[in-house]
């Protein structure tokens, strides 16, 4: 939803699920990993955690929070010297789970809606090979790289070319079943 159409309750729920929950799950599970000097923390962020998108202000803010959380957690774990506790941050594009029903991608070759099984396979490979960051599709690496240093007017132009600012126009979201 656009920011002025997003109820406060929805914004708070989005932040609670996508950002605040990371603190609670980390505090619950990582101490045992540290004690054993073995484990792997996987943070599910999003391409929206690196690039802002019109119509997703609450979601993008929550995923930017997830990215910041992950980067800080990885730094904190590194200072503890526990080399056996690994981290991976996952930055997928839209996943075909129903959550983003109606989303239209202008460039399906570069930015296809991802299938859940593909995302799971990529995450498993990342964990098994100790990759610190995965972007899906691979074009996401380019988006994140250029997003880090291009001027905002150039990023806005590229977003328009890729249709990023209109892809939520037909968004319906997951339909609740009674």
Reduced to 3 states (helix: H, G, I; strand: E, B; else coil), residue 85 is: strand
d(CA 151, CA 156): 9
Q: How confident is the model at residue 113 (pLDDT cuts 50, 70, 90)?
A: confident
Going 102 to 104 to 109 to 110, the CA torsion angle's sign is negative
- CA-nearest of 123, 93, 117, 97 to 106 is 93
Q: How confident is the model at residue 178 (pLDDT cuts 50, 70, 90)?
A: low
Q: Which domain holds residue 15?
A: 3-162
Total domains present in the chain: 1
User: Higher model confidence: residue 48 or residue 135?
Assistant: 135
Q: Which residues are catalytic?
A: 59
pLDDT digit string, tens, across residues 56-111:
899 999 999 999 999 999 999 999 999 999 999 999 988 888 766 666 677 777 78
Q: Is residue 132 part of a domain?
A: yes
CATH number of the domain to which 44 belongs: 3.40.50.720
Q: Say if residue 156 is exposed, middle or buried (CB neighbours under 10 Å; 0-12, 13-18, 19+).
A: middle
Q: Is residue 177 part of a domain?
A: no
Q: Is residue 169 part of a domain?
A: no
**According to the model, what pLDDT value does residue 170 have?**
54
Reduced to 3 states (helix: H, G, I; strand: E, B; else coil), residue 26 is: helix
């Amino acid at each position: 939803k656009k920011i002025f159409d997003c109820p406060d309750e929805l914004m708070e729920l989005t932040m609670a699920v996508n950002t605040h929950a990371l603190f609670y799950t980390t505090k619950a599970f990582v101490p045992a990993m540290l004690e054993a000097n073995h484990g792997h923390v996987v943070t599910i962020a999003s391409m929206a955690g690196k690039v802002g998108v019109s119509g997703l202000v609450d979601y993008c803010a929550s995923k930017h929070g997830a990215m910041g959380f992950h980067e800080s957690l990885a730094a904190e774990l590194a200072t503890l010297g526990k080399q056996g506790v690994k981290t991976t941050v996952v930055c997928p594009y839209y996943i075909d789970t129903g959550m983003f029903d109606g989303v239209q991608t202008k460039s399906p070759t570069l930015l296809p809606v991802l299938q859940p099984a593909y995302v799971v396979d990529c995450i498993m490979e990342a964990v098994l090979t100790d990759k610190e960051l995965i972007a899906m599709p691979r074009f996401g690496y380019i988006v994140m790289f250029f997003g880090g240093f291009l001027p905002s007017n150039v990023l806005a132009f590229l977003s328009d070319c890729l249709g990023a600012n209109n892809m939520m126009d037909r968004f319906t979201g997951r339909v609740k079943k009674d």
